[in-house]
Amino acid sequence: MLDLESLFNLSYPMCIICSKKGNRFAGCIVNAVFQIVPEPPMVTVSLNKESLTHDYITDSGIFTVSILAEGTTLEFIGRFGFKSSRDIDKFEQVEYKTGQNGAPIVFDNVVSFLEAKVVETIDVETHTLFIGKITACETIDDSKIPMTYTYYRDVKGGRAPRTAATYIKRKQNRKKELKR
Amino acid sequence: MLDLESLFNLSYPMCIICSKKGNRFAGCIVNAVFQIVPEPPMVTVSLNKESLTHDYITDSGIFTVSILAEGTTLEFIGRFGFKSSRDIDKFEQVEYKTGQNGAPIVFDNVVSFLEAKVVETIDVETHTLFIGKITACETIDDSKIPMTYTYYRDVKGGRAPRTAATYIKRKQNRKKELKR
Counting one residue from chain A and one from chain B, the pairs whose CB atoms sit within 8 A come to: 184
> What would the DSSP string read from start to end of A158-180?
----TTSTT--PPPSS-HHHHH-
Pick from A3, A131, A134: which is nearest to B137 by CB? A3
Compare A177 and B159 and report the one with higher pLDDT: B159
| Helix residue spans in B12-112 (DSSP H) | 52-60, 74-81
Contacts of B39 in chain A (CB under 8 A): 125-126
Cβ–Cβ gap B11/A149 under 8 Å: yes
- What pLDDT score was predicted for residue A168? 85
Taking CA atoms, B69 is separated from B15, B91, B106, B121, in Å, by 9, 18, 12, 28
Cβ–Cβ gap A37/B126 under 8 Å: yes
Segment A169-179 mean pLDDT: 51
In the predicted structure, residue A129 carries a pLDDT above the cut 70: yes
Grade residue B176 by pLDDT with cuts at 50, 70 and 90.
very low
Structure ipTM: 0.91
- What pLDDT score was predicted for residue B73? 96
Q: Is B128 helix (H, G, I), strand (E, B) or coil?
A: strand
A178 touches B at CB < 8 Å: no
- B32 vs A34: CA distance, rounded Å: 7
Segment A4-30 mean pLDDT: 96
DSSP B151: I
Segment B64-91 mean pLDDT: 94
In the predicted structure, residue A162 carries a pLDDT above the cut 70: yes
A36 touches B at CB < 8 Å: yes
| CATH architecture, domain B13-179 | Roll (2.30)
Grade residue B162 by pLDDT with cuts at 50, 70 and 90.
confident
The percent helix, strand, coil of chain B (3-state, each to 5) is 20, 40, 40
Q: Residue B3 in contact with residue A137, Cβ under 8 Å?
A: yes
Interface-testing mutation among A7, A15, A138, A145, with chain B (most B C-beta atoms within 10 A): A7
Contacts of A129 in chain B (CB under 8 A): 36, 44, 122, 129, 131
B112 touches A at CB < 8 Å: yes
- A136: closest chain B residue by CA: B2
B73 touches A at CB < 8 Å: no
Segment B107-111 mean pLDDT: 97
A17 touches B at CB < 8 Å: no
| Helix residue spans in B1-73 (DSSP H) | 52-60
Contacts of B143 in chain A (CB under 8 A): 179
Provide the residue ranges of all domains of chain B, joining segments of one domain with +.
13-179
- What pLDDT score was predicted for residue B174? 46
- B164 vs A98: CA distance, rounded Å: 31
- B102 vs B129: CA distance, rounded Å: 21
In the predicted structure, residue A178 carries a pLDDT above the cut 80: no
Q: Residue A131 in contact with residue A124, Cβ under 8 Å?
A: no
Cβ–Cβ gap B10/A143 under 8 Å: no
- CB-based contacts of B20: which residues, under 8 Å, 6+ apart? B26, B56, B60, B62, B102, B103, B104
- CB-based contacts of B141: which residues, under 8 Å, 6+ apart? B69, B110, B111
Contacts of A149 in chain B (CB under 8 A): 11
- What pLDDT score was predicted for residue B161? 87
Q: Residue B34 in contact with residue B44, Cβ under 8 Å?
A: yes
Residue ranges of A 131-170 with Cβ closer than 8 A to chain B: 131, 134-139, 142-143, 146, 148-150, 162, 164-168
Which tens digit of pLDDT belongs to each residue from A135-161?
999 999 999 999 999 999 999 999 988
- B162 vs B178: CA distance, rounded Å: 24
Pick from B37, B124, B162: which is nearest to A125 by CB? B37
Taking CA atoms, B155 is separated from A138, B33, B151, B179, in Å, by 23, 21, 5, 11
- What pLDDT score was predicted for residue B171? 66
B94 touches A at CB < 8 Å: no
In the predicted structure, residue A180 carries a pLDDT above the cut 60: no
Grade residue B65 by pLDDT with cuts at 50, 70 and 90.
very high
Q: Count the residues in chain B.
A: 180
In the predicted structure, residue A60 carries a pLDDT above the cut 90: yes
Cβ–Cβ gap A134/B7 under 8 Å: yes
- What pLDDT score was predicted for residue A56? 98
- What pLDDT score was predicted for residue A173? 44
Q: Count the residues in chain A.
A: 180
User: Longest Cα pair distance anywhere in chain B, in angstroms?
Assistant: 48
Q: What's the whole-model pTM score?
A: 0.92
Grade residue B85 by pLDDT with cuts at 50, 70 and 90.
confident
Average pLDDT of chain B is 93
